[in-house]
Amino acid sequence: MRSETIPLQDSVVYGPIHSRRLGHSLGINVLPLSHKVCSSNCVYCQYGWTLPEGTAERLRRAPELLQDIDAAFADHVDRGTPVDCVTLAGNGEPTLHPDLLELVVGIKMLRDRHFPGARVGILTDSTQLTRPRVRETLGLLDVRYMKFDAADEATWRRINDPLGKTDFQAMVEALRRLPEIILQSMFIQGSHDNTDAPHLQRWIQVVGSIRPLSVQVYTVDRGTAASGIVKVPRATLQQIANRLTTATGIPADVYD
C-alpha cells in the first residue's frame, strides 16, 4: 500500500464514522486542520508522514474549540445523528494539546447535554503516558484506546518511529498503571512486519503483563505512509488473537 492515504480532517467535529471498532463515532479533532501534529511517525498512518515544518496555523485553545463542538453536537441532534461514541482523535496525537484536561471535562459536559448515552473516548499513541497530567486526564474518560503495536523498543522504533524522547519501557510501565484500557494492536506485513514468531511471543508476554480489558487486533484498510505494506489476512489475525487469549485469558477482537 501507499498513495491512497486520506486527507486530514477539515473540521473540529467530523463524522459520524461507522467504525469497525467504535460503532457510530463522532470524531473530535483538537489539532490544526492544515497539518498533522503527532508524537509518532507510524509507517502505516492513513494520513501519511508527520512532516517537521507544519504551517503557520495556530493551535486553537479549549474555550474556542468547545464552542465549535457545542454547535456541531447541537446540529447532529437536530439531524437525528446516531452517536455511540465521541472520540478524541483527528489530525495526530490529541494528548499533545496543552488544554487536554479542560477539553475532556468540557466535552463530557457537552456529551451529557446532547448525547447522554454515548461514551467519550480517545485514540492515543500512548507516548505521552509518562506525563502525570496526561494520565490524570485519561482517567476521566469513559474509554481509553491505547496503541500498542510492538513488544520491544527496536520494533516500536521501526514501526511507530516516535518523534520525542519517550522511553519505551517507561511507556509500558505507564500502560500497566493505567486502569481499564483497551489496547489497539496494528499488525502489518510486507516492507515492515511485526508478525514474526519471536515478536509475537514477546507481544503476548508484554500484553499479558499490562492486563488490558481487551485487545483489538487489526490491520490496514487504507493507504499507508510507507510503501510496500501488506494487509495481514484475517486468518492470521485470528490466530494472533486466539494465541493471546489462550495464553493470558485476555479477550481479543479481530478487525480486518
Domains along the sequence of the chain with CATH? 13-255 (3.20.20.70)
Whether cis (ω within 30° of 0) applies to the bond prior to 16 is: yes
CA 165 from chain centre, in angstroms, equals: 19
Cβ(90)–Cβ(38) under 8 Å? no
Segment 198-225 shows an average pLDDT of 97
pLDDT tens by residue, 10-64: 999 999 988 767 788 999 999 999 999 999 999 999 999 998 876 778 899 999 9
The whole-chain average pLDDT of the chain stands at: 95
Residue 18's pLDDT is: 83
pTM of model > 0.85: yes
- Give 2's pLDDT tier (boundaries 50, 70, 90): low
- Alpha-carbon gap, residue 94 to 88, rounded angstroms: 6
Cβ(125)–Cβ(160) under 8 Å? yes
Q: Is the pLDDT of residue 81 over 80?
A: yes
Residue 75's pLDDT is: 98
> What distance separates the 2 farthest-apart alpha carbons in the chain?
52
Residue 22's pLDDT is: 76
pLDDT tens by residue, 187-196: 999 999 999 9
- Alpha-carbon gap, residue 157 to 71, rounded angstroms: 40
First to last CA, the chain: 15
Cβ(13)–Cβ(77) under 8 Å? no
Q: Is the pLDDT of residue 217 over 60?
A: yes
